[in-house]
Amino acid sequence: MSSRHRIRVTVNGRAYERDVQGRRLLVDFLRHDLGLYGTHVGCEQGVCGACTVLLDGQVVKSCLMLAPQADGRTLTTVEGLAGRGELHPVQEAFREAHGLQCGYCTPGFLLSAVALADRGVVLEGKSLRAELAGNLCRCTGYQNIVEAVERYLRQTVGSRRG
Amino acid sequence: MDKLPWVGVSVKRKEDERLLRGAGRFLDDLDDTVALHAAIGRCPYPHARIRGIDPGGALEMAGVEAVLLGRDVVARTEPTNVLRPFPGAATTAYYAMAHPVARYEGEPVVAVAARDRYEAEDALERIAIDWEPLPHVVDAEEALRSGSPLLFDQVPSNLLAASTVKAGDPDAAFRQAAAVVKGKLRINRVTGLPIETRGLLARYSDQTRTLEVWSSTQTPHLVRAQLAHVLRMAESDIRVIAPDVGGGFGIKMCVYPEDVVVCLLAIDIGRPVKWVEDRVEHFRGCTHAREAVHELELAGSADGTLTALRDRYVIDAGAYNSPFGPPMLTNLMLPGPYRLRDGEIERRVALTNKVPVGPYRGYGQPESNFVREVLLDRLARKLGQDPADLRRKNLLRPDELPFQNLTGATYDSGDYVRCLDLALSRVGYDEVRAGQAAWRREHRYVGVGVSCYAEFTGYPSSAFLGRTGAGFGAYESVTIRMDRAGRAAIYTGVSTFGQGMETTFAQVCASSLGLEPADITIYGGDSRGTPYSVGGFASRTMIAGAGAIATATGEIRAKMLRLAGHLLGVAPEHLEVAAGVVRRTDDPSVQLSIREVSEAAFLGHRLPPGDDPGLEATAYHDPPASAFGYGSVAARVEVDPRSGAFDLQRYVLVHDCGTQVNPMIVEGQIHGGIAQGLAAALFEELQYDRDTGQLVNGTLVDYFAPSAADLPRFELDHLETPAPATSLGVKGVGEGGTIGAAAAVANAIGDALAPFGVELDRLPITAESVWRALEAARSRPAAAVN
């Protein structure tokens, strides 16, 4: 419990080296040790998806991992999508489609959408809704989130194929 | 200014950029390097006495700074005050910690502050509590029976409050009725479940003896007033600030026990203390909502005229009267949008050993809609009429409005029948009716159901609230301050929790001042520097806020005209404010930019006689009357009668919220309301075990909040009848989507399964509950089927 581990991670292209407790959750490490507050905590049980990040390109829930498990790995959080530049296409799609209200669940949805685009499939309607079931939202009723992701996938994956 | 160029425009939201970048700042994002972290110990029993408590083990642990016990809380604080009391309600002292008796599983009984949350939770495990479990009751009807365990000695039969309203002559109407239908209908206990849980960061200054509280709340000023009362401090010594709030839905209103506990720890230790609720705590710490049992009767004449209603219902309040308490609008909106003058409603509010209930999106309206609309379908079947025809016959017509319903609500405006007809046409009502017989021959059970509602939005006035004993007013307020660059800032006590207030307030303000929404900055949710505010709830922010913005910008505009007139040598009455300029009405080439006018105001070098420097105004607006939205839902389902499983194929809502400031945001609010309406109707229920009194599904793994995969696409349409009483003609829109959901689906399933005589009488509606209703119908003698 009180064991300490020296870990090296790359987050949003930047390398970090830190000492952490063995029981430190990855999401707490990202937020409170690295100051990357865009990744949120909603349930600590892997249900709501507010803490979704990409670990070596794969969608993971950072509340279900311990920080030492990320040693040597590469992470992307919402702060890594656009940096300080123009909004990333997925962010722009959410803005255009009014795909967010309180914005608390939004970073998790954005990263899930990016992972879908990386798989190179254009989904819509019910099949897309099934893919988004790992993220919960209480404000939007999902309709505009689905529309935003459809729009983003069409643009991104569609144009890659195009 | 007659024309409001930014009202009615789907402006993209000002809030979005920071939220999309992960740069929103929510409560737990406020990292204070010297802050301690609190963890709260909770009662594991539904009802128990603390015989002894030994914090010794915790205090010896490294990193632990303080332990707070219930007896100290009771000695040092006032019980939480009730802001929305039921008439004649018994007083039940609700302290921030239970001592010596705890009355629900999850009630706070001890707290620890330590270097981090991990250590604080370790320390809780070292605190030994000697519990004496007491008899409990978790069913409201049972709680009211004699011999049930009492929660408070001074509340006989656990009856917190009871009242009866009667209008007209319902007894005669029931005697003369051609048909009477009765039902006992159960509404499930649910919760709003914002994805961000609640939290608090409190800092106390020993030097100034002032308290700074960051809180994830919809109502910063009400939280300040309540903290001052409970902590026995002056309001002026407390500042409450809401950062970005991750969803509210009525759950994040007023003071909660944990808030008081965290403030006491910060005061005692003299260092900042932070507490963020975890999700398991959230299910036990935040108010639940809606649970009730109704025994409703409707009377109708042979031609399908609805003639009277009679309802006797019990609300399950949980263990304490929370600040906003059980819902007030069940009674008020029970008669619905119909021409109904005779009725009698008896309401009883029972205490049980469960989490206290509080407001949740709809505040009684989804409950009364479900029970009334389900029985209306039964009445139609009994009279041999089509349910849509029966509603159309009884809905109030535009020439009958305003109409005071039998519980005292005055519906202001709209076209209820047209709204219903639009919903029917959109869902393909006639096509389903035409196809049903053939589908049934193929063993396909397709049904269509409707539900109609009128919706109370905002409050009629502060005077009205005063007569009901409320601890707050109906107004909202703003300070608007221009700067030398000709931009404007709005200071409001309303916080940002997803409702889009930053954008819609900017649209109204920009329209009046000749600016663009991008020129407006919103400073919201901070009790310091904002005028007294009530807060964001009851679908009232835009109703009351738009009025305050209109008044404040009116003053500023008048001063801009005087100032520009002085500088241009033109009488102010010949000037107007247009996009970015003040100009002559008859010769627009004579103009000054708003930037030039603003600079002149703040330099103060050349002011008109009698005017002071500056360009700012503070205004309060108290709405003179409520605004009533309305809507009709039409749903189409197909049901498998072997399993009870059903597919919600179409969901149509046609609504009227008056003038829409931002149609995109309105639609988003409606979507979210429908989703929470369907969540409570089809998925969610907080279940307590009768024998152990435990909340058995109080985690997000066990409480089935729907995902995108569980909900259909919603189809919307709207009418736009400006409200006569409000600024801009707006009606509230935050809650409407929730109201009609459960009844529309229940009626669609009832319609699909009409050959079986199925009657749904409880929520949530699941495949299992439909299957049980089918089994019950199959075992009923055929003659009893209506």
Q: Answer yes or no: is B573 within a domain.
A: yes
Does A77 contact B705 at a Cβ distance shorter than 8 Å? no
Q: Which CATH number does the domain housing residue B394 bear?
A: 3.30.365.10
- In this prediction, residue A2 carries a pLDDT of 66
pLDDT tens per residue, range B612-654: 999 999 999 999 888 999 999 999 999 999 999 999 999 999 9
Shortest CB distance from B194 goes to which of A37, A94, A138? A138
- Same-domain check for residues B590 and B648: no
- In this prediction, residue B406 carries a pLDDT of 96
- Per the CB < 8 A criterion, the answer to whether B700 and B279 are in contact is yes
Is the confidence at residue B336, as pLDDT, over 90? yes
- In this prediction, residue A57 carries a pLDDT of 96
Shortest CB distance from A142 goes to which of B499, B667, B708? B708
For residue A34, the chain B residues in CB contact (below 8 A) are none
Q: How far is residue B694 from each of residues B100, B158, B685, B687, measured CA to CA in Å?
A: 20, 19, 14, 8
Q: What is the mean pLDDT of chain A?
A: 96
DSSP H or E stretch at residue B111: strand B108-114
- Same-domain check for residues B231 and B303: no
Q: What is the mean pLDDT of residues B246-254?
A: 96
Does B709 contact A132 at a Cβ distance shorter than 8 Å? yes
At which residue do the structure tokens 């709260």 appear? B40
Cα dihedral B242, B323, A136, B699 sign: positive
Q: Is the peptide bond before B764 cis (omega within 30 degrees of 0)?
A: yes
Among B564, B589, B621, the domain-final residue is B621
Is the confidence at residue B785, as pLDDT, over 50? no
Please state, in angstroms and rounded to a whole number, the distance separating the CA atoms of residues B107 and B95: 10
Q: Answer yes or no: is B148 within a domain.
A: no
pLDDT tens per residue, range B448-480: 999 999 999 998 899 999 999 999 999 999 999
Q: What is the mean pLDDT of residues B157-182?
A: 97
Does A101 contact B707 at a Cβ distance shorter than 8 Å? no
pLDDT tens per residue, range B228-246: 999 999 999 999 999 999 9
Please state, in angstroms and rounded to a whole number, the distance separating the CA atoms of residues B193 and B249: 8
Minimal-distance CA residue of chain B relative to A135: B707
Please state, in angstroms and rounded to a whole number, the distance separating the CA atoms of residues B28 and B38: 13
Within 8 A by CB and 6+ apart from B3, the residues are none
Q: Answer yes or no: is B178 within a domain.
A: no
**Domain span at B266:** 32-134+196-246+252-285
Q: What is the mean pLDDT of residues B264-283?
A: 98
Q: Answer yes or no: is B314 within a domain.
A: yes
Taking the CA of residue B704 as centre, how many other CA atoms within 13 Å lie in the half-sphere pointing to its CB? 15
- In this prediction, residue B691 carries a pLDDT of 98
- Same-domain check for residues B758 and B663: yes
- In this prediction, residue A121 carries a pLDDT of 87
- In this prediction, residue B87 carries a pLDDT of 86
Q: Answer yes or no: is B160 within a domain.
A: no
Please state, in angstroms and rounded to a whole number, the distance separating the CA atoms of residues B106 and B108: 6
- In this prediction, residue B1 carries a pLDDT of 45
pLDDT tens per residue, range B553-610: 999 999 999 999 999 999 999 999 999 999 999 999 999 999 999 999 999 999 999 9
- In this prediction, residue B56 carries a pLDDT of 86
> How many DSSP H helices and E strands does chain A contain?
6, 5
Q: Answer yes or no: is B400 within a domain.
A: yes
Q: Does B715 touch chain A (CB under 8 A)?
A: no
DSSP letter at B730? B
Question: Looking at CA atoms only, how far is residue B652 from chain A in angstroms?
Answer: 13
Percent of chain B at pLDDT > 70 equals 99
Taking the CA of residue B564 as centre, how many other CA atoms within 13 Å lie in the half-sphere pointing to its CB? 29
For residue A106, the chain B residues in CB contact (below 8 A) are 19-20
How many Cβ pairs closer than 8 A exist between chain A and B? 178
Answer CATH for A82-161 from 1.10.1510.10, 3.20.20.140, 1.10.150.120, 3.40.50.2300: 1.10.150.120
Q: Does B707 touch chain A (CB under 8 A)?
A: yes
Minimal-distance CA residue of chain B relative to A140: B672
- In this prediction, residue B744 carries a pLDDT of 98
Cα dihedral B53, B56, B62, B66 sign: positive
Q: What is the mean pLDDT of chain B?
A: 96
Q: Answer yes or no: is B63 within a domain.
A: yes
Quickly state the pLDDT bin for B2 (edges 50, 70, 90): low
B474: closest CA among B410, B532, B555, B407? Answer: B532
Please state, in angstroms and rounded to a whole number, the distance separating the CA atoms of residues B410 and B417: 18
Is the confidence at residue B308, as pLDDT, over 80? yes
Q: What would the two tokens of residue B697 be?
A: 């599904």
SS3 of B436-489: the string is HHHHHHCCCEEEEEEEEEEEEECCCCHHHHHHCCCCCCCCEEEEEEECCCCCEE
User: Mutating which of A21, A77, A102 best tests the B interface, going by the most B Cβ atoms within 10 A?
Assistant: A102
For residue B195, the chain A residues in CB contact (below 8 A) are 40, 42, 48, 50, 102, 104-105, 136-138
Among B621, B643, B658, the domain-final residue is B621
Query: How does DSSP assign B223-285, residue by residue?
Result: HHHHHHHHHT--GGGEEEE--B-S--TTSS-S--HHHHHHHHHHHHHSS-EEEE--HHHHHHH
- In this prediction, residue B91 carries a pLDDT of 84
Among B568, B592, B621, the domain-final residue is B621
The count of structural domains within chain B is 3
- In this prediction, residue B278 carries a pLDDT of 97
Q: Which CATH number does the domain housing residue B77 bear?
A: 3.90.1170.50
Low-confidence ranges of chain A (pLDDT < 50): none
Beta bridge partners of B404: B410
| CATH 1.10.150.120 residue window(s) in chain A | 82-161
- Same-domain check for residues B648 and B607: no
- Same-domain check for residues B323 and B430: yes
Beta bridge partners of B38: B113
pLDDT tens per residue, range B12-58: 999 999 999 999 999 999 988 899 999 999 999 999 999 999 998 99
Architecture of domain A4-77: Roll (3.10)
Q: Does B700 touch chain A (CB under 8 A)?
A: yes
- Same-domain check for residues B736 and B659: yes
Within 8 A by CB and 6+ apart from B691, the residues are none
Shortest CB distance from B22 goes to which of A38, A42, A132? A38
Please state, in angstroms and rounded to a whole number, the distance separating the CA atoms of residues A21 and B80: 39
Cβ neighbours, 10 Å, residue B596: 16
Better pLDDT: B488 or A84: B488
Shortest CB distance from B709 goes to which of A81, A94, A130? A130
Beta bridge partners of B529: none
| CATH 3.10.20.30 residue window(s) in chain A | 4-77
For residue B699, the chain A residues in CB contact (below 8 A) are 43, 45
Q: Answer yes or no: is B121 within a domain.
A: yes
- In this prediction, residue B122 carries a pLDDT of 97
